[in-house]
Amino acid sequence: MTGIRFDKARLELGGRPVLHSLSLSAGAGELIALAGPNGAGKSSLLRLAAGLLPPDRGQVELDGQAVGGLDARQRARQIAYLPAESREAWPLDVQSLVALGRIPFRKPLRRLSDADEAAITSAMQRAGVTAFAARRIDTLSSGERARVHLARMLATQAPVLLLDEPTAALDLKHQLAVMDIVAAEAKAGRLVIMALHALDLAARYADRVVLMQEGQIRADAAPDTALSEENVRAVFGVEAPGGIQASGLKPVR
């Protein structure tokens, strides 16, 4: 059973603390939403979990082993990370871009194996991008491109999926499509941790919401508890009568 644990992890960037002695555990089959205002530390937490940044103090562990102690290939086989802005260096066709997710399993200059091909096909089917496999990525809409990058992540078959604002700049239909895909991955047994600004999506899809403010965890609970009227007012400075799942938001006066 794959799990990630933060043990009093602290991170400083540019001499400024962005995460303060943070402790958190997450296990297989969970969909965890990181919520909080800009600058709360959500992206930094994901980058620590992905091994892209080392903690200045404390530990970040994958199944009891320090994430920073894994070499890049080991880490990429276990943890897949989708940044907030996914860009393409070349206008590849969709299938070729999704195939990049198999790089951690391939030797240089070797052709795709049968296992690679099967993983790519499955990822494209689950992400709903098979129909435009031969199209260039730069000919697709933003929603279609988001699902292609998600397919590339799924092609890794990594047990841990980390996503930073995967629904940003998408219309409602494509937001729901992306959330449906990642929710299915969690139900299949993967650990999914994602940063979300859309609190309604966090409330609808997440098993747990980790509510962050100024580099600290203010709540870690089921959505209706973490996104209570009191917590939303304290962290976001808005009124949410009855909680986030009830009526519309309005500024605190």
pLDDT the model gives residue 15: 87
pLDDT the model gives residue 246: 47
- The rounded distance, in Å, linking the Cα atoms of 148 and 139 is 12
Burial classification of residue 240, based on how many CB atoms lie within 10 Å of its CB (0-12 exposed, 13-18 middle, 19 or more buried): buried
Provide the CATH number for the domain around residue 13.
3.40.50.300
pLDDT higher than threshold 50 for residue 249:
no
Report, as an integer, the average pLDDT of 193-201. 94
pLDDT higher than threshold 80 for residue 247:
no
- pLDDT single digits (tens) 143-168: 899 999 999 999 999 999 999 999 98
Helix (H/G/I), strand (E/B), else coil: 6: strand
Q: Which of 98, 74, 106, 190 is nearest to 150 (CA)?
A: 98
- The rounded distance, in Å, linking the Cα atoms of 6 and 197 is 22
Q: 7-16, 80-89, 170-179, 195-204: which has the minimum mean pLDDT? A: 80-89
Helix (H/G/I), strand (E/B), else coil: 189: coil
Containing structural domain, residue 241? 3-251
pLDDT the model gives residue 11: 96
Number of domains within the chain:
1
In percent, the amount of the chain with pLDDT more than 70 equals: 94
**Given pLDDT bands bounded at 50, 70 and 90, which one contains residue 251?**
very low
pLDDT higher than threshold 80 for residue 242:
no
- The rounded distance, in Å, linking the Cα atoms of 25 and 99 is 31
pLDDT higher than threshold 50 for residue 217:
yes
pLDDT the model gives residue 239: 80
Higher-confidence position of 239 and 172 = 172
pLDDT the model gives residue 244: 66
Backbone phi, then psi, for 28, in 5-degree steps? -55, 140
Report, as an integer, the average pLDDT of 215-239. 93
Report, as an integer, the average pLDDT of 51-58. 94
pTM of the model: 0.92
- pLDDT single digits (tens) 73-103: 999 999 999 998 777 777 899 999 999 999 9
- The mean predicted confidence, pLDDT, of the chain is 91
pLDDT higher than threshold 90 for residue 7:
yes
